[in-house]
Structures are given as structure tokens and as C-alpha cells.
Structure 1
Amino acid sequence: MVPILAGNPVFPSTRKIYEKELAPIGLFGPAKALLHHEDYVVMATATLGKSRVFAPGDPWLYNEYVDGRRIPAQYENVKAGGELARWLLR
């Protein structure tokens, strides 16, 4: 479980998502930490010109995590996926 704090620019109303195998991310150049788990950066973003980059440390947004059957309902992966899409398209 990865908690998401209020005020997150990509996930404004999501508060927790399920991630199984987190890989820490090293930040370079314009990259900024988006989510932390313990002392590690597990999601990052960057803006390059007119483009937005999203880097996840776990492939958390795929069928088994958003189909509503394999993880408990307390996790908001579907909601987070929608918020991520809106952020990327903005």
C-alpha cells in the first residue's frame, strides 16, 4: 500500500493505491518525486518542453490491479488511473 498525501499534483483526490513490487527511482535533470514509500521515490514526473513524463516504480496500472477483483476495495487504483490520464492530457 502506498499512501498519497493531500495536495498531490497528479492524484488530487486519491489517497492510497496498491503496488506490489516497488523499484526505487533515481532522480536526474528535471525529474521530481511524485510519490515516496518509506525513504524511496517510487513515482516521478518531469516536464520536457511541452511534454509530460510519468515514471512509475511498479506497473501498478494494469488489468489485475484495476479490474476490481484481485485487490481489496480500499485501494483506489482505478481512480488514480483516471487522475493520471487527466494529468497527462492537460
Structure 2
Amino acid sequence: VAAVLVPVSLQIAQQLKVEPHPFIMAVAFGASLSFLTPIGYQTNTLVYGAGGYRFGDFARVGAPLVIVLWIVAGKLIPVFWPL
């Protein structure tokens, strides 16, 4: 996902004539949010099968984590990587 979206984010930053680092960091944070499904990351898949979890278990625990990290990234990316 990140390999596809980084060039897109660089192009957007270039067209807007702004610093590209915040866009790249947003892609990096977004690409690392693999909590929502058991197929989001290989470790999730291993735990999914061995632990007897259901798909909904990952969504129930992962959705709040994703929302919190969206908020945190949305607040902190502009602080550490301003436009």
C-alpha cells in the first residue's frame, strides 16, 4: 500500500507546492494500521487461526485503535512535520 501511495502523495505535495514530509508520514502511519482485520498483517493471521478468534473480534478491538491513531496522527503529524 505504501509503495503505491507514496508517489501519489509526493505528486499531490508537489502540485500544492508544499513540503512532502507530512504527506509521506501520513501514508506511513496509515500503512501501519493493520489492527482491523486478521488479514491486515501476517501475525494477525497466525493468531487468528491458533487462538480461535473470529473476524469480528479483530474489528471490535481494532476499530477503536485505528480511530485513536487517526486522531493522534492527525494532531501530531502537522506538529512534527509542518507544511
TM-score range (shorter-chain normalised) is under 0.3
- Rg: which structure is higher? 2
Give the TM-score, by structure 2 length.
0.27
Give the TM-score normalised by structure 1: 0.25
Structure (1 or 2) with the greater helix fraction: 2
